[in-house]
Chain A
Amino acid sequence: MAFMVGLPLLSGFLLWYYRKNEKIKLYVSLASTVLNLLFALGLYTGDPFRTAIHAAPFGFEYSFRVTNLTGMFLVLSAALFIAVSYYTVENTKTAQYGGLYLLYLYISFALVNGVLLSGNLATILFFWEGLMAVLFAILLIGNSENPKTSAKALSVTAFSALTLMLGVLLTVHIAHTAEISEIERIPVSGLGLFAFLCVMLGALGQMGCFPFHSWIPKAADDAPTAVLAAFPGAVNGILGAYLAAVSVSEVFDLQSGSGMSVLVIVIGVITFALGAAMALAQKELKKLLAYTAVSLSGMVAAGFGTGTEAGVSGAVYALLNNTICLCGLFILCGILEKKAGTTELSRLQGILRKSPYAAICFAVLSLSALGFPLLGGFFAEQLILGAVLDVSVVLLIFALIGVFLMALNLIRAGRILLFGEGGVQFSNSHAALIPVYVLSGLALLLSVNPLPLKGIQTALNAAASFAGFPASTASMIATAAVLLIAVCDHIFGTKKAGSALDCCDHIRNAPVIRNLYGWAEKGYLDPYQWLVSLVGAYGSLCTRVEHGVSWVYDKGVPGLVKGTGNALSRFVNGRLSRYLYLVVVGLILLLILFFAK
């Protein structure tokens, strides 16, 4: 355990210390990430175990465990760390803050390992909340003049993390223990419902689901692509999905089709459709991918929301596929950005001719993320959609709208990037593309070999087996139909607009939808803006009250004292009759008191 957290930390400090020595940086990063992967594999294939470190304050215990599920997530994150780390080292060679960036990146690796290894909910919270500060710091790098994204990211993640804290505390209150393995599954009703809601909001917030998503597209504007590859591409998804998986499979007894189940599916489906819809409007690959990341997290959330073995297995499998694909796509985007100096789709056209291997990788990764038939994402998506169908047909229809929009998106991007004419000239470079090749290979492996799905079902102690073929024929036919419609719409849109770049304009400019896009671009639909406005309005109200309170202290009380003094001084005018009146009144009061007693 100490190794899994300590190694990335130590490596991070070494990388920061040797920030000017490229060779040492490359060796250290490769050695540490490969070792990390080997240890993760060792833990995954070894026997489950639990351990605790008694160095926490009163009421706390740093407890750690390894189960099939944690082992699987550890292996996934370790594999992605290799790709992200290699890309980052390669990509930050001349960057002014490269060392600092690597340090933060490795601290976040350590924190991810910490969360995945945590044996109790309080320990999860410890590592989980630590990540907020790292994200804040990493987004500040190079953005000291424009720190809004980091402030937004910290505010949004803090909101979801503190909601999670409430959920954890309620869970501990109900279960009388924070140890995950000692918790008897809590019914999602009464206080348990509130606890589940808070925990799931924490998990969904980490994944970047609506309404906690808005920092991700903003980061696409300000942060380097490496940040997007590491965080929305890998870290956020892995952590959120892990917590959601633990919640629905170990901590809470979520009944499929219950109110909470439907709520989580609704959040997932909204995120899926909303993210894809926003991606349609993007002209930059980086921002398009950022919205795609948001959108895909919605699909994963919907899977967890079903609460069924098929849905949850599908969600974990989708997470596995999505993180590999997104991480690869972000890295590829970064490489293209470095070569072409831009991520504008119009300037990146025709990479099939300029860099055919990169183009093939893009096709594999994007199609798999989309859930194209017979690729890894397809199996995952079908498991989720089948489980959603079991809950409600209406929800499935909304999910299919998301599939349609996502398909439009990636077909559009794929066509422009692969087959477009013109754009900036750049050369091919295999060394830089190594992580993309590896991730594309992994994505293909997920397609041809259902082994990970079997592993997921074992890890989740699922009774039924879903490996190999979709569970619901109806949802599969519906998906295929939707994909076909998307292709037709793309052809129609391209003809109408005259170019693939604007092929979605007929949707964007449709009545009502046009207004929605307008509001979204102005930030009216950004929940973060709502939060800030709400707090601002509340703050203004408090400030008004505070003026009143200050008036009482500064003017009211002194005025009262002064007024009383003046009145008394006017009253005490030196005449004997006044004093005699006072004596008489005093005597009467004394008599009343005496007789009353």
Chain B
Amino acid sequence: MYGWILVIGILTPLLGALLLPVIGKYNVKLRNRTAFALVAVSFVCAAAALFGVFGDKLFSIRFALPLGLSFGFRADALAVFMALTASFVSMIIVLYSYGYIHHYENQNEYYMMVVVFVGAMMGIVYSTNLIALYVFWEISSLCCWRLIGFYRQEITIRRANKTFLVTVLGALIMLVGFFGIYGQTGTFELMAMNGVHIPDWTVALILFGILSKSATFPLHSWLPDAGVAPSPVTSLLHAAVLVKIGVFAYARLFILTFDVSKSFQTIVPTIAAVSALYCAGVAFKENDIKRVLAYSTISQLSFILLGLSCGEKIGIVGGLLYILAHSTAKAGLFLCAGIVEHSLHTKDMRKMGGLAKQMPLTALAFAFCMFSIMGIPPFLGFFTKHMVIEGIIENGNVLLGALFILCAVMTVLYLVRLYIKVFFGPLNFPTETFTAEAFAKVKEGSKIMVVSVMILGIASLALGIFSYLPSQLASMIWG
């Protein structure tokens, strides 16, 4: 009976979103609030499913289909962890959107796509069937396509297409991998395949899909380009939800379900190390604030992948907690970048500087989120970075551990550079376009935007101080 809560958690945003354009035609405020409520329903359902996880009676439901096929939803610890993370951050992003998006066209579609996207994410995390997972995966790609192309300019459309093509291509290749598994096991049901060893070629195909979705080198190029989207979208896609789908799928398939070759415990961390170091290097030279954060995302996702693929419990739990830490903090960073961009109408860091005086709260929230990404205690990022690197060292791979420490140093360097260039130092505005008088008029974003980033900043800190709580849930995932 409780399984229906999961169905509500998925279908409410998926179907409810269809009402948003209609409501939006008559009442904008009501549409906005409804969008928030729809996402909040997902969050509440995920929170309710926590009782199942801690009560040892998981919420699940199964639907029979013709020809002996079936599909279902199940809220185990991993699903609930991901659902809570994604829906919490999405709620904040919807709130922030009230202030950010209100003067643009296509708002109805925007809210609809964001909410559908959250529904698709819920579908992915609760699905117990490979085909259902694939279907929700593709729904998310569709939403992503529309959201990146939100401004309808030529460049945004081109980049939206790029994102769509790369992620869909990855998903199709992954689908071939799914069929390969079906050919071996005769089922798409994940529960029925627990502990089944799958051939390396299927793992490689699925991995291709995962890496394309989580933007890992060399399949990463779409992610920085997608920075042309509005900031709440980049926050949702780059930080909180979309890119986490890939790493979630890795955890679901290769940690909790299938038995894969030990060689992947070396291959995947090596890919992750290359991706992390490479993108950290690019981030250090970029001058577009959102592109720096995008490359940072790719680099940090590699830490998650490293933790999940190292084969040690401490690393896997660290990798899962890293998802939470990164989602919260990176969403905050993107939203802060949105406030800055909104005020200055530029994303070029060379034309910024000294904004801490005008935007003290945004600067503070940015600092909190930045410290978490850097891995400074007591922020959650500290624990997760420590656990992930401990995992790979425990696995005996000291060299990779050292490389990731190097990457952590580079993370500090490029984030400090960004922070100082944007919020401190002398003003770097070209005088003819942005005079000192104009700068003096620059103010914080709207109340709702500032509150949103402050929530994420404080959450980054609070999650670190009370890291015991999410850690309990994350450690239950491994069993």
Binding site for B on A (CB under 8 A): 55-60, 122, 125-127, 129-130, 132-133, 136-137, 140, 144-148, 150-151, 154-155, 158-159, 162-163, 165-166, 169-170, 172-173, 191, 194, 531-532, 535-536, 538-543, 545-546, 549-550, 552-554
Contacts and interface: CB of A to CB of B under 8 A. Distances in A.
A166 B408 CA distance: 11
Nearest to A160: B409
Contacts of A137: 367
Interface string B203-229: 000000000000000100110010000
Contacts of A169: 386, 389-390, 393, 401
Contacts of A532: 413
B375 interface: yes
Interface string B387-414: 1011001100010011001001110110
How many chain B residues sit at the interface, stated as a range, is 35 or more
A56 B408 CA distance: 22
B63 to A, nearest CB: 35
Most chain-B Cβ atoms within 10 A of its Cβ — which of A55, A60, A194?
A60
A273 B468 CA distance: 47
B192 interface: no
B166 interface: yes
A522 to B, nearest CB: 22
Interface stretch (B143-151, B257-265, B336-344, B417-425): B417-425
Contacts of A545: 278
19 contacts: A56-B471, A58-B474, A60-B383, A60-B467, A129-B377, A130-B376, A144-B425, A151-B416, A155-B412, A158-B409, A162-B405, A162-B412, A165-B386, A165-B389, A169-B401, A173-B390, A539-B285, A542-B282, A553-B162
Contacts of B334: none
B412 A543 contact: no
A191 B394 CA distance: 13
B356 A59 contact: no
B96 interface: no
A382 B143 CA distance: 73
B468 A59 contact: no
B187 interface: no
Contacts of B402: 166
B425 A55 contact: no
Contacts of A549: 218, 221
Given A144-B357, A154-B416, A173-B394, A58 B314 contact: yes
A59 B390 contact: yes
B412 A145 contact: no
A170 B376 contact: no
A57 B467 contact: yes
Given A56-B467, A129-B382, A535 B281 contact: yes
Interface of B: 162, 166, 218, 221-222, 225, 278-279, 281-286, 313-314, 317-318, 321, 354, 356-357, 367, 371, 374-378, 382-383, 385-387, 389-390, 393-394, 398, 401-402, 405, 408-410, 412-413, 416-417, 420, 424-426, 467-468, 470-472, 474-475
B278 to A, nearest CB: 5
Nearest to B376: A133
Contacts of A554: 162
Most B Cβ at <10 Å: residue of A122, A155, A169, A550: A169
A290 to B, nearest CB: 22
Chain A contact residues, majority secondary structure: helix
A166 B425 contact: no
A137 B413 CA distance: 16
Nearest to A172: B390
B167 to A, nearest CB: 12
A532 B408 CA distance: 15
A295 B286 CA distance: 37
A57 B468 contact: yes
A105 to B, nearest CB: 18
Most buried by B among A56, A144, A148: A144
A170 B416 contact: no
A144 B475 CA distance: 42
A558 to B, nearest CB: 9
A185 to B, nearest CB: 20
A475 to B, nearest CB: 38
B393 A542 contact: no
A145 B354 contact: yes
Nearest to B382: A129
B305 to A, nearest CB: 19
A272 to B, nearest CB: 27
Given A56-B383, A162-B405, A540-B285, 10 more contacts: A57-B471, A60-B467, A125-B377, A144-B356, A155-B412, A158-B409, A169-B386, A535-B281, A546-B282, A549-B221
**Residue in A155, A165, A531 with the greatest tally of chain B CB atoms within 10 Å:** A165
Contacts of B376: 129-130, 132-133
Highest count of chain B CB atoms <10 Å: which of A58, A165, A538, A540 = A58
Contact of A535 (B321, B357, B390, B413): B413
Contacts of B383: 56-57, 60
A126 B387 CA distance: 13
A150 B419 CA distance: 11
A58 B377 contact: no
Nearest to A174: B393
A87 to B, nearest CB: 27
Nearest to A128: B377
B162 A56 contact: no
A216 B426 CA distance: 22
Nearest to A538: B281
A146 B425 contact: yes
Nearest to B405: A166
A58 B81 CA distance: 15
Nearest to B357: A144
Contact of A147 (B284, B386, B408, B424): B424
Given A133-B376, A144-B354, A553-B166, A162 B408 contact: yes
A125 B285 contact: no
Contacts of A173: 390, 393-394, 398
Nearest to B391: A59
B407 to A, nearest CB: 10
A545 B279 CA distance: 11
B386 A122 contact: yes
B281 A542 contact: yes
B172 to A, nearest CB: 15
A536 B285 contact: yes
A191 B389 CA distance: 16
Contacts of A540: 285
A542 B317 CA distance: 31
Contacts of B475: 58
Given A57-B321, A140-B424, A126 B378 contact: yes
A140 to B, nearest CB: 7
B281 A543 contact: yes
Nearest to A122: B386
B428 to A, nearest CB: 12
A487 to B, nearest CB: 45
B478 to A, nearest CB: 9
Contacts of A194: 398
A490 to B, nearest CB: 42
Q: Nearest 7 pairs between A and B by C-beta?
A: A542-B281, A57-B471, A539-B284, A539-B285, A147-B424, A158-B412, A57-B467
Nearest to A542: B281
B409 A147 contact: no
A538 B468 CA distance: 38
Contacts of A542: 278-279, 281-282, 285
Contacts of B417: 151
Given A58-B317, A146-B425, A125 B386 contact: yes
Contact of A536 (B284, B354, B390, B424): B284
Contacts of B393: 169-170, 173
A60 to B, nearest CB: 6
A191 B393 CA distance: 11
A206 to B, nearest CB: 15
Nearest to A60: B383
Nearest to B374: A158
